[in-house]
Amino acid sequence: MTVFWKTLTSPSTLLGSVCTLLFTFGGLGAPPAEAAERLILQIGPLQEEIKIEDLEQFAYTGEISPQLKPYQFLLTPGVQDLLLRRMHVDPVLAEQFFNQLLVSEDGEKLLEQIQTAIPETTVNQLQTSLKEAIKQPDDLNILSFLRVYPSKTLKINLNAGASIATQLGAANLQSKILTPVLAKELNVPPDAGSFSPVDPKSPGPETVYKETFILRDKSRKRTIPADIYYSFNTKGPLVVMSHGFAADRRFLKYLAYHLASYGLTVVSVEHPGSNIHSLVKFPQGMKLNEILPASEFIERPKDISFVLDELEKINQENSYFHDKFNTRQVSLIGHSFGGYTVLALAGGKLNPKQLRSFCQSLTPLGRSPADWLQCSGAQLPYSEVNFRDSRVVGAIALNPIAGHLFGDSLSEIKIPTLILASSEDGITPNLAHQLQPFQQLQGEKYLMVAVGGTHMSVTDISYLSGSMGQSTLVREVMDEEANPLREATQGVSLAFIKQLTPQGKDYQPFLTPAYVQSFKNEQMSLRLATQLPMTLDVTLNVLSLSHEKITLRQPPLKLDLLATIRACFAHLSTPFSPPQYQTGQLEEIFDGLLRTYNRHSGRLS
């Protein structure tokens, strides 16, 4: 998955974002016969009533009413921002999504879980509320949900809500635990010397030209556009790019121009079944599982192999592009779903059988956006599919969707492979989709980690269109904040590909931890590793086991009050808040909550 437009929001992210709204303050939309006026927060035998108008007053003015004074330690500027932060949701797409979800097996499970957190709400009321909420004329936020709730009082069971929040925030919590460990364990001393007279992040000497080919695969009835970036002085491997779900061939344009300026021919392929246009044309009545057809897990790798076949023919013709396409040596670069495509062509075998087992055991609320996408492939009637293309000699997978798609077969990849992981990736959480796949690789491999980076940080979509780049439902770090990652990606990708040329030794210094670590700003720092340290390996294994317990549908967690509060308010930060940490306030918050609890306990005794 790559980006979600203001007028077109990814269905997988819709679910996670709406669920977050439901379980932070319990807001649900419905026909506005009467708006909610009070929230009743229940923790075991204790209940506390809060007026919604007091929350609104705090949200819009920052003023704290006398009733909210006992909770002043919770009402931080971050919470104020959360109450007002708006989500851009397309009503037509969202309604189609919920219509399909609520009549599915996953939808039934989801509604059952929601009812444990909002115990006095019926299934029918939930269905109606969810459908009506997405029809509101303004962008959604927590307060707008509460204004249209069809009862004056809304009760929230925080124990059940905490259990749900634990599932919703599991992948995010794992990433937050991993972030300081990654930053520390992969840190190396700075290199005082210069790397080389060459500066691989700067533009190369060649003038770059761009052409668009339209290739038609009659046997599969696929029309495949491809942008060709080239120079007159062609040399080195052919570079082929694969975009993510709901994206297009422009999403790594800056990188295509950069590599072409060094004489490399770059072909950026657009996949017709999983690009933005296929989602725009999403028809009424299409089933939820057809938003990303399972066939795309088959067709995408075939798209690339077909394009290589066509380029071979063009290469042999006496034409303007004669000898422009070195299809004997191909380096693949893919982002998100394109990362899956790259790993499949590099030798990873698609394993629908293992994927089915994983998806059947995973609760709806336990799925990350990438899990919803990868589980689309579980319908494929195969035990294993091999797409290995021998022309591919190098693979770069940027924030790939990998998870359980390949089983254990990534260990069979024999070509050099580079994987990018971002510590704040809310779409493809790094533990399951990058770090564990990296551990499987047995050959020459590199892991680049963007500490503070998000799923979209490596792309330049924010420069293509401001509204497209910033209207995501999950927080993204882009624009100039992500410049260190994009610059490092230019230098590292070029150095990685140049290893297949006679100049490989000159570019080797740019495939080192010290070089990558030299890129940083206040928002982001970078790391590079060829192996994970033992201490980090142990951390990954522990986190993986903790996620499996959630995946296997354990009984509702029996949390004590402090654990409940921690779970609820830890989840409050996702996916709305920026990837910044305010750990200095945490102890004050927890202490305040315990003081409030102790006062109530005293009254009861």
Q: Does 186 reside within a domain? A: yes
Q: What CATH number does the domain containing 260 carry? A: 3.40.50.1820
DSSP 29-57: ----SS---EEEEEETTEEEEEEHHHHHH
Q: Which residue reads 């940083």 in tokens? A: 520
Give pLDDT tens digits for 124-169.
Answer: 666 666 666 666 656 566 776 676 667 778 787 777 666 665 555 5
Collapse the DSSP code of 291 into the 3-class scheme (helix H, G, I; strand E, B; otherwise coil) and give the result. coil
Domain match, 365 and 497 both: yes
* pLDDT at residue 593 is higher than 80: no
Domain match, 464 and 589 both: no
Q: Does 544 reside within a domain? A: no
pLDDT band at 602 (very low <50, low <70, confident <90, very high): very low
Give pLDDT tens digits for 21-50.
Answer: 333 333 333 334 456 678 887 777 777 788
Domain match, 237 and 376 both: yes
Domain match, 197 and 330 both: yes
Strands 209-217 and 238-242: unpaired
Last residue of a domain, one of 516, 532, 548: 532
Give pLDDT tens digits for 199-239.
Answer: 999 999 999 999 999 999 999 999 999 999 999 999 999 99
Domain match, 159 and 233 both: no
Give whole-number Cα distances, 139 to 136, 144, 428, in Å.
7, 8, 25
Domain match, 290 and 322 both: yes
* pLDDT at residue 190 is higher than 50: yes
pLDDT band at 458 (very low <50, low <70, confident <90, very high): very high
pLDDT band at 521 (very low <50, low <70, confident <90, very high): very high
If one counts the domains in the chain, the total is 2
Domain match, 326 and 223 both: yes
What value does the mean pLDDT of the chain take? 78
* pLDDT at residue 5 is higher than 80: no
pLDDT at 111: 72
pLDDT band at 88 (very low <50, low <70, confident <90, very high): low
Domain match, 473 and 437 both: yes
Nearest Cα residue to 56 out of 46, 67, 48: 67
- C-alpha–C-alpha distance, residues 132 and 325, integer Å: 53
Last residue of a domain, one of 532, 567, 588: 532
pLDDT at 545: 58
Give whole-number Cα distances, 330 to 30, 77, 239, 474, in Å.
54, 50, 6, 34
Domain match, 570 and 431 both: no
Percent of the chain with pLDDT over 70: 66
pLDDT at 79: 75
Q: Which residue reads 């919590």 in tokens? A: 173
> Average of pLDDT values for 433-454?
95
Q: Does 5 reside within a domain? A: no
* pLDDT at residue 306 is higher than 60: yes
Give pLDDT tens digits for 280-303.
Answer: 665 555 555 567 899 999 999 999
421, two tokens: 């992981």
Structure-model confidence comparison of residues 91 and 409, the more confident one? 409
Q: Does 362 reside within a domain? A: yes
Q: Does 83 reside within a domain? A: yes
Domain match, 149 and 185 both: no
* pLDDT at residue 82 is higher than 80: no
Q: How many helical (H) and strand (E) elements, i.e. helices and strands, does the chain have?
A: 25, 12
Domain match, 251 and 103 both: no
Give pLDDT tens digits for 351-402.
Answer: 999 999 998 887 766 778 898 899 999 989 999 999 999 999 999 999 999 9
- C-alpha–C-alpha distance, residues 266 and 230, integer Å: 7
Q: Does 354 reside within a domain? A: yes
Give pLDDT tens digits for 242-282.
Answer: 999 989 999 999 999 999 999 999 999 999 999 988 876 65
Q: Which secondary structure element, helix H or strand E, spans residue 216, and what is its range?
A: strand 209-217
Q: Does 440 reside within a domain? A: yes
Question: Is residue 151 within 8 Å of 31, Cβ to Cβ?
Answer: no
Domain match, 344 and 490 both: yes
Segment of 542-556, 566-580, 587-601 carrying the highest mean pLDDT: 542-556
Q: Does 227 reside within a domain? A: yes
Structure-model confidence comparison of residues 95 and 494, the more confident one? 494
Domain that holds residue 221: 181-532
Give pLDDT tens digits for 59-81.
Answer: 889 898 888 887 777 677 877 77
